[in-house]
Structure 1
Amino acid sequence: MKAQKGFTLIELMIVIAIIGILAAIAIPAYSKYQGRAKATAGLAEAKALTVNFEDLQNGGTTPTAALLNVTTASQNCTFTITGGTTGSIKCALVNAPAAISTGTITLNRTDTTGWTCTAANIGSDYMPKGCS
């Protein structure tokens, strides 16, 4: 009698089912990870501009994107800079996953409270730490 080699159809179907279950769990988790990473990267880019913003502000100059040597768009953000005593740095997320594709992160500055972070159109699952 010949020895059987290979897998049966049932064994292959079980392996495919297990892979499908793992994929159904992993894909949403990975999408959430991508969204959080993009929001955090946008916040980091905006926070990097605060030092130069403060330097210009303390020197009596109204900060602008040109004075901060920032292009209007980066890999993670499209920036809007507003100078003055209550200035702000706004990052509109670009190339973001669909869940946060219209998200914005805004760093607002006041003389009394310093810098505060607010986010719009970003769900709580994707919100970077330190932002509300």
Structure 2
Amino acid sequence: MKSMQKGFTLIELMIVVAIIAILAAIAIPQYQTYVIKSQVSRAMGEAGDAKVVIEDCLNNGQSTVGTASTDCTLQALTPSDILSGAQQGSEAAPPTGTGYAQVNPLSGTGQTKVIATLGNHASAKISGGTITWARTGSGAWTCSTDGTIITSNYAPASCQ
């Protein structure tokens, strides 16, 4: 009389667990890198929003950041991964808390920088890294990262 097998043998279960472990060992680091890249891209975009405001101010002849009627008033952005204090027209001291990308004072030649320091909800691997948008006097914008915390494998190709 034959007895029918019911269920799986121990070796079959062990093989399935081993396969899942191998897949997880490959997938989890790839997913973490993907998340970090998306956080850098998001912070780059949030800091880049200030470019539009700066261009508008310069086109209207406003070269001073402030709250007076003749000053360039930086509009509030909605950062989540960027660290800094209140929005201001100069580079911040060591940033803390949720804040805004910092804008260097606008010069008469139109040269300025927008600097975003990552933190808050950003991955611990990139927390403290900076993304800088720099404007030349001719109106060209360039993006760069600090290169030590936000390395080339995390930064978008347009912001090396």
TM-score (norm 2): 0.74
1:87 counterpart = 2:112 = yes
Amino acid at match of 1:84: L
In the other structure, the counterpart of 1:112 is 138
Alpha-carbon distance in 2 for matches of 1:42, 1:131: 12
Amino acid at match of 1:100: I
Displacement of 1:83: 2.5
In the other structure, the counterpart of 1:100 is 126
SS in 1 for 2:134: strand
- After TM superposition, which residue ranges in structure 1, 4 or more long, deviate above 6 angstroms? none
> CA offsets, 1:1-43, max 9 Å, x none?
4322000110000000000000000011001101100000011
CA contact (8 A) 2:118 2:130 kept: yes
Distance 1:32 1:102, change over 3 A: same
Displacement of 1:87: 1.1
Amino acid at match of 2:74: L
In the other structure, the counterpart of 2:54 is 53
Cα root mean square deviation, aligned:
1.9
Alpha-carbon distance in 2 for matches of 1:19, 1:28: 15
Alpha-carbon distance in 2 for matches of 1:127, 1:110: 22
Alignment coverage as a number of residue pairs: 131
Distance 1:65 1:18, change over 3 A: farther
Amino acid at match of 1:82: N
Distance 1:107 1:59, change over 3 A: same
SS in 1 for 2:158: coil
> CA offsets, 1:58-79, max 9 Å, x none?
22223548612125x7212232
Structure with greater strand share of residues: 1
Q: Which runs of 5+ in 2 are unaligned?
A: 68-72, 84-100
Structure of higher RCO (CA pairs closer than 8 Å, 6+ residues apart): 1
In the other structure, the counterpart of 1:30 is 31
